[in-house]
Structure 1
Amino acid sequence: WIPGTDNNAFGEFWKRCHQEGDIEKIKKFNTMKKSSQTKSAILGLSCTEKDPSVRSFYFYIAVETDEISNQGEYEVYRVKPYEWAIFTCDGHDINALMECEMHAWAEWLPNNSLYEHDNGPELEVCFDENKIEYGLPIRRKEQ
């Protein structure tokens, strides 16, 4: 559980997972390299499904997998199909992610007449190269 208003908590969680070897362990579950939707080695999932305006939520570090047995100490979190608005920024740090999120929430979403936030998890998609994507689940507004 991470209080979403404390950006340092996300960075500390990532740092701790790296130091304790969890990131490398989790990457071994990535069985979808060829059929992956995100084309990423590692993901961050902000579980804001119940109410996106409440910025305290469960946050997961995850991979895409089609094998859900024998995860041991790790949980399985299923992401149902959504339509996504994808925002890309240079960098891997919290500042790059915040730039993507701020653009999505402060500029793109309020000025978009066709789409609104769908009640689904928000994605951080981390790549080996120096970029990050922020995925916002969206749906068409009812007219």
Structure 2
Amino acid sequence: MDWLERMNRAMDYIESNLAGEIELSEVAQRACCSSHQFQRMFSFITNVTLAEYIRRRKLTLAALEIQNSEAARVIDIAIKYGYESPVSFARAFQSLHGVTPARARQDGIALKAYPRLSFLITIKGVDAMNYRIETKESFEVFGMERVFRSDDGGDAPNTPAQFWQQCHANGEVERLAANAGDLPRFVSQDAYKVHGICSYKNTGNDTFPYMLFAFKSETSNVNGYSTITIPAQTWAIFPSEPIARDALGETIETLYRRFYAEWLPTSGYEQVDEMELQVCGERAGLHTVELWFAIRKI
């Protein structure tokens, strides 16, 4: 089953269960990935979160039922689409459509409709993507790790970006850099000492691990840090052009979006265990980033 078919099977499940319970684990299973990975792919490709897409689809169908069925009570429609009270339903309905459910039955009232999404291959003819595929032997990394929830909930920091900010503020990034030692030969010597790695082990369907790491070498001091072994893998590596620091976040997001939306669907590869690295560096006084995705032939 190819990437497009898997993604559309997941969308079929969502569409069939809008008036019932949508299990994110089931959505992910149909896409052959974890719940966390599916939500990330979905948001990068569509520019909307999965939760927001589901909310819009539910309220689109609810509006159609309100308009087309005079006999149906608003409270029954609200419960059908997962709202526990008419107040919460009315608030969500007005936020999306701009009118209350009661006014939606009036002639001439304008409402919004969000159609069902399907994934297709689109020939865009946009800028070429720079990437390379490299097979690397097993290596070790060490650093500070946290487990995050896919919905960005839980105790602060709630996201990897906030984790980075916290570790910069308390000096942990600088301390890790001082303990990093020499860079291994398979890493660009323009690279910094500290980087990020995501989804390198299983922590549950609705969570994912993230580590601020340094590559382990003979000169590294790993005392007090978590150490993990990255098995031999084939990597698809997507480098950025040199950029200013304030453009780093937007550049990383663009690389992710193009990997998921443009490269992966047509490459003949699939991601392995969702493992990925963010390897940062500096060139000519500007910042660079490489995204490493573990892949294998389909």
Q: TM-score, normalised by structure 2?
A: 0.41
Distance 1:122 1:35, change over 3 A: same
Cα deviation code 1:66-122 (max 9, x no counterpart): 249852331112112211111123445332211111111111001112x11112520
1:59 aligned residue: 210
Offset of residue 127 of structure 1: 0.7
1:131 aligned residue: 288
2:134 aligned residue: none
Match for residue 71 of structure 1 among 216, 219, 222: 222
Hey, which bits of structure 1, 4+ residues long, moved more than 6 A? none
1:18 and 1:34 map into 2 onto residues whose CA distance is 24
1:112 aligned residue: 267
Match for residue 258 of structure 2 among 73, 96, 103: 103
2:176 aligned residue: 26
1:130 and 1:49 map into 2 onto residues whose CA distance is 29
2:137 aligned residue: none
- The structure with the largest helix share of the pair is 2
Distance 1:5 1:96, change over 3 A: farther
Paired AA for residue 99 in structure 1:
T
Structure 2 residue matching 1:130: 3-state secondary structure: strand
| Higher RCO by CA contacts (8 Å cutoff, separation 6 or greater) | 1
1:37 and 1:109 map into 2 onto residues whose CA distance is 24
Distance 1:30 1:47, change over 3 A: same
2:149 aligned residue: 3
2:281 and 2:249 map into 1 onto residues whose CA distance is 14
Structure 2 residue matching 1:13: 3-state secondary structure: helix
Offset of residue 62 of structure 1: 0.5
2:280 and 2:256 map into 1 onto residues whose CA distance is 14
Instruction: Give the total of aligned pairs.
Output: 137
Distance 1:110 1:48, change over 3 A: farther
Q: Which runs of 5+ in 1 are unaligned?
A: none
Distance 1:73 1:120, change over 3 A: same
Q: In angstroms, what is the RMSD of aligned CA positions? A: 2.6
Q: Which runs of 5+ in 2 are unaligned?
A: 1-146, 153-157
1:47 aligned residue: 199
